[in-house]
Amino acid sequence: MPAKNKIQQEIHKEPEDHLLWKYLNQEELQAMENMELTRVENFMSEKFNLKEYEIDLKQACFLDYYLTQYWWARKEKGFNLEQTSSFFSIAYNLMENLSEKKFNYIDNLADFKLMLSVLNERVRLFSEQQLKDMIKHFSLTFFQNIKLYLFVIEEEQNEIAVSRDIVVECPKLPSLPYPPPLDEALPINLYEKYILQIPDEPNEEEKLREELEKPDNIVLSDEVIEQIHDKFEGLGIDEAKKIIFEVTNELVTELKDEMKTKIKNREAALLNELAKSAKKK
């Protein structure tokens, strides 16, 4: 059978009476009653397998079409559930004729008239005014845009990849327990002293004192070395330096303690004198 005759036969075959509840049943329509528009959109994308509508132009076009038909019938015209289901079945069949059955404009228009005649003569769900509103609505939303729908259906969508090279500088890994502070944070000296607990660098006097407190840094004259060899046989220079260092430290410690005691006594005496002079005044 030629393809054209096959299409004609398919058109003139009367649609079944079950346009009612065919694509949207009563339970689904009742569930959609209290949904916001975005939730209705998500529901329809799941039901009609249009899950990629955000990136696929064809799926986005179909979903927008289905959503528009439902919203117009139920929300704008106030059709009841039976009317909304039958109206949506007509809308779905028209788009299916275009995308799957490859109907042209004339064939799709003939099928549309046939579906309306069945609803008007057999089922009688709609009033005469409602049928007129439906014809006007489909003329504006479907038949006037049929070439645009065909273009979306037949043309392959070009995939556009948008990219941009970005150079990201990563901070160096901290060699310390904590990373350096930000500009608006602690001053670096306080950060190092109290957080990292880095000791302050000693001044020249402290460095000299530290050097002198090491036995290896003691310098002995030739005369002293000769006396050590003469008087202490078998005593090495390093051992002699260690002994001198320990004795010197003991003497210095005693002198420090003595000086601290004298300073404390002197401070106490001064405080007594200040207290006496204050009483006299």
Helix axes 146-154, 57-70, angle to 10 degrees: 150
- Pairwise CA distance, residues 176 & 167, whole Å: 27
4-59: per-residue pLDDT in tens? 444 444 444 444 455 778 888 888 888 888 888 888 888 888 888 888 888 888 88
Helix (H) or strand (E) holding 172: none
Please state, in angstroms and as integers, the Cα–Cα distance from residue 119 to each residue in 14, 246, 268, following that order.
11, 118, 117
Please state, in angstroms and as integers, the Cα–Cα distance from residue 72 to each residue in 27, 79, 234, 239, following that order.
19, 9, 116, 107
Angle ∠(156,162,164) on CA atoms, nearest 5:
165
Joined together, the tokens standing for residue 120 give 């008007």
Please state, in angstroms and as integers, the Cα–Cα distance from residue 242 to each residue in 24, 212, 245, 249, following that order.
102, 12, 5, 11
pLDDT in tens, the chain (281 residues): 444 444 444 444 444 455 778 888 888 888 888 888 888 888 888 888 888 888 888 888 888 999 988 888 888 888 888 888 888 888 899 988 888 888 888 888 888 888 888 777 766 778 888 888 989 999 898 888 888 888 888 887 777 777 788 887 776 666 655 566 565 566 777 777 777 776 766 666 666 566 556 655 555 566 666 666 666 666 666 666 666 666 666 666 777 777 777 777 777 777 777 777 766 65
- Pairwise CA distance, residues 68 & 37, whole Å: 11
